[in-house]
Amino acid sequence: MTEITEKKTPLVTFPLDEMVKLVKSFTSQKLASLLDVTDLKADTQEPKILKMAEWAKSLNCASVCVNPVDGSDILPLALKGSKVKECYVIDFPLGKLDIEMKSVQTSYVVKKSRELRGEGKGKMELDMVINVGRFKKDPNYALEEINAVCEAADGEPVKVIVRSSELTVKEIYTVSEIVARSKAAFIKNSTGMDAYGALPEHMKIMREVVGNKIGVKSSGGVSDAATAMRLIYASARDESLQKPELFRIGTSSPLNIVSTFGWLAKAPEHWLGAGIIPCKICPFYHNTKLRVELREEANSWCRQCIHNHYLVNKDF
């Protein structure tokens, strides 16, 4: 075996002084304004959706995100008169409908929401899932289906879920470029049901590619303020990006994020200085959950990482 002499550094590190400065620049209200309150489980029912709507209104969150089958009869009325937007997933979670069916679903959801809420345009958003298999074969297909959904959305913002846990690093760059060229308003990493969710490394790549042209949404496993702030540091560090039009976090735990921010803000040096295990927030640490064709890329990166002693010594 060839000896590895050059070690790779993770794309994202979290210098304590910079993280403390970021936390001190935030308030719980500002953080809440970036949240999409989300529940996309198969057993979600009306009482939970109504509770989510109340959370979002009381915290002034950006939106409430649900499956349209569960929520399109409920949310328009529950959020009527508030600034909180409805958010519905399209072709969720697999993204395997053809372009025509994606467009039909989008048009139906938009029309129904507007009729029930009665407040015109600009009160809803749509999170669509691309067909990852077709993208791998023909990247231009992704651009075609994204633009078709955007047309069917009739001006309502579309966020594009790219399922980054199923993509190589090169493919994440490619799909980010495609979304940036499309009519979409956001790129989003995950359905929250993929092999893993929001990881700083992937979010940094997406922001690096799309710049400030469109927004970046982190989703999957974000349940506390420290995790949220690391994702903000990775993909919305510049203050100009820290607004709902350019950055979001999808979470089923909005109350916990806001409450833990209170602790974080009081003693950021303590909570952030405790440190994190780099492997836990690295996409390549999740290699056992990946398809075989993605696993070798992950293993190769881990072997060359400056932090691989954590894995070798089983320090966590």
Q: Of 85, 159, 204, 217, which residue is the catalytic one? A: 217
204 is catalytic: no
217 is catalytic: yes
Q: Of 70, 127, 194, 224, which residue is the catalytic one? A: 127
Q: Is 292 left (phi over 0), alpha (psi -120 to 50) or beta?
A: alpha
123 is catalytic: no
Q: Phi, psi (5° rounding) for residue 45?
A: -130, 175
Q: Is the peptide bond before 93 cis (omega within 30 degrees of 0)?
A: yes
| Angle, vertex CA 145, rays to CA 113 and CA 181, nearest 5 | 100
Beta-strand relationship, 186-188 and 158-161: parallel
Q: Of 188, 194, 204, 224, which residue is the catalytic one? A: 188
Whether 5 contacts 23, CB under 8 Å: no
Q: Which residues are catalytic?
A: 127, 188, 217
